[in-house]
Amino acid sequence: MGDGVSAPKFATELTDYSVQHQETSGPYAQNLEVDALVVGAGFAGIFMLKTLRDRGLKTVIFEAGSSTGGTLRWNCYPGAGVDSEVPEYEFSWPEVINITKDCAFNTVVVGAYFNTDTGRWTVETQDGRSTTAKYLVLGTGFAARRYIPDWPGMNKFQGVIHHSSFWPDKKVEVKNKRCAVIGTGASGVQIVQAWGTEAGEVTVFQRTPNLAVPMRKHSLSVEDQQRAKKFYPELFRYREQNFAGFHYGWNEKNTFDDTPEDQANKESYDFWAKKTRARVGDPRLRGLLAPLDGPHPFGVKRPCFEYNYYEQFNRPNVDLVDIRNNSIKEFTETGITLHDGTHHEFDVIAVATGFDIVTGLMTQLGLQSINNTNPQEEWIPGAKTYLGTTVSGYPNMFHIYGVHGPTLLSNGPTTVEVQGRWIADCIQKMERNSIRYINPKPSAADDWKDHIVDINKKTLFPTTKSTYMGGSIPEKVFEPVCYPGGIPAYEREIRVALDSMEGFDIVKE
């Protein structure tokens, strides 16, 4: 991925993109000392770099990729797109200047530990560099670690194979090719839409149907955009007042005021199924893509936006294989074998299996706590944070758009700005009060986790294994990974906590 590094045949880890740098100055310097080190150059990382730099802190970004862009830089698979409207999915700043001068690209963090005597983090990278910083900010988001099932023989396959979020910049040729798409989440849906009209054959391997809804997107002319821009400042202010960080909130009228929620939800599913089934001609495919009985309550798994996904299955070159009860057994040199022995031959395979969602970012950086433990061990029974921005045992470390923040239940840039300002204000408060470090109290983390679980119990999310409940990795604990109370309530709560600082152990210089 990127201009500086060619992706290996089948990349599985960020370290596949690390290079040995020749630069010896700026953010690439050996033994670099900074005030704040930010990991990741997407929305979160760029926001933190600019915000902390504007407040006088020497700040740099370490980015595993070859340029800025974050999640959408990595996820450059065919058909990749954003399902949030313009201008909501952008910064509230009119422009950002001179970001790359403080970025070290193709730089993969593999270790980090905190020294309580000096009050500084030491961060190590794959290419052998070492950097110290008072503050470590993880701007790696919710999709920083890919999930690739341990299917035997994947490296045997002699065709072209890529995970959707490790897709190469160079176009993968699919004309007259036999193509497979494994997975029907957001990336799977978008790849099918892109390949359906282009590939020789497309076979989609589906475990659970995606209850996708029409995007209804339309193009904006230059004139349309210019007319809208005068309202941008008010829109950016208003989006933080709404539950999910968009310019609209909940519909105040319930589907049925006096009907139990599950029945009202079924009505929503039945409406969706009726509309969707009418778009699919083949009865077998219709039953797999939009069954009469819903696979789960509507909305508890993220319903993707689509524009002609279901119509692709009316093409003679597009088919679907149901793997719910006949899963993938292994890969061979020529394709994929299912457990019943059926073999499918392919030239190109897209592994659209998603991520170790939300919590995965903490388990691939080599983080070590002051108690000589790590998140991989600590979070086996479940993730714990304080305020969705800090973790007990990791002083002066902050994360943004990750575990126990609004994250998956919100518009990314909105949450990034709400959390980013809080982190910057917390750091500024520490600087003004000569605080060496803060460390969240374990009891505060316990209370925050209990608070999230209590809110989540009032929803339908606990009824289904989904990204909102930690994803589909078999051994991963089933639990809410995001704050489900909405952005306005979240911001109020973290601001009260910042004013009192009662949830932190504080060590002064």
- pLDDT, tens digit, 9 for 90 and up, residues 65-97: 888 888 777 888 888 888 788 888 888 887 777
Write down the pLDDT at residue 246. 84
User: What CATH architecture does domain 154-211+259-351 belong to?
Assistant: 3-Layer(bba) Sandwich (3.50)
3-state helix, strand, coil in the chain (%, to 5): 30, 20, 50
Write down the pLDDT at residue 2. 42
Average pLDDT over residues 347-351: 97
Note whether 14-146+356-508 and 154-211+259-351 share their fold: yes
- pLDDT, tens digit, 9 for 90 and up, residues 129-176: 999 999 999 999 887 788 889 999 999 999 999 999 889 888 999 999
> Residue 261: is its pLDDT beyond 60?
no
Average pLDDT over residues 354-383: 90
> Residue 491: is its pLDDT beyond 80?
yes
> Residue 212: is its pLDDT beyond 50?
yes
DSSP reduced 3-state for 258:
coil
Q: What ranges in 31-143 are assigned the alpha helix state H?
A: 43-54, 71-74
Q: Give the pLDDT band of residue 20 (cuts 50, 70, 90).
A: confident
Residues ≥6 apart with Cβ < 8 Å to 168: 1, 6, 7, 162
Average pLDDT over residues 490-495: 98
Percent pLDDT > 90 in the chain is: 67
Better-predicted residue by pLDDT, 384 or 8: 384
Write down the pLDDT at residue 262. 55
d(CA 294, CA 297): 7
The rounded mean pLDDT for the chain is: 91
d(CA 202, CA 78): 13
Owner of token pair 């059926």:
342
User: Residue 110 in contact with residue 17, Cβ under 8 Å?
Assistant: no
The residue extents of the domains of the chain are 14-146+356-508, 154-211+259-351
Third-level CATH fold of 14-146+356-508:
FAD/NAD(P)-binding domain (3.50.50)
> Residue 18: is its pLDDT beyond 80?
no
Write down the pLDDT at residue 252. 61
CA geometry: angle 248, 251, 255, nearest 5 deg: 155
Maximum Cα–Cα distance across the chain = 71
Write down the pLDDT at residue 259. 57
d(CA 167, CA 175): 18
**Angle of helix 487-500 versus helix 412-432 axis, rounded to 10:** 10
**First vs last C-alpha separation in the chain:** 44
Residue 79, classified by CB atoms within 10 Å of its CB into exposed (0-12), middle (13-18) or buried (19+), is: middle
174, 180, 182, 188: CA torsion to nearest 10: 40
d(CA 490, CA 483): 8
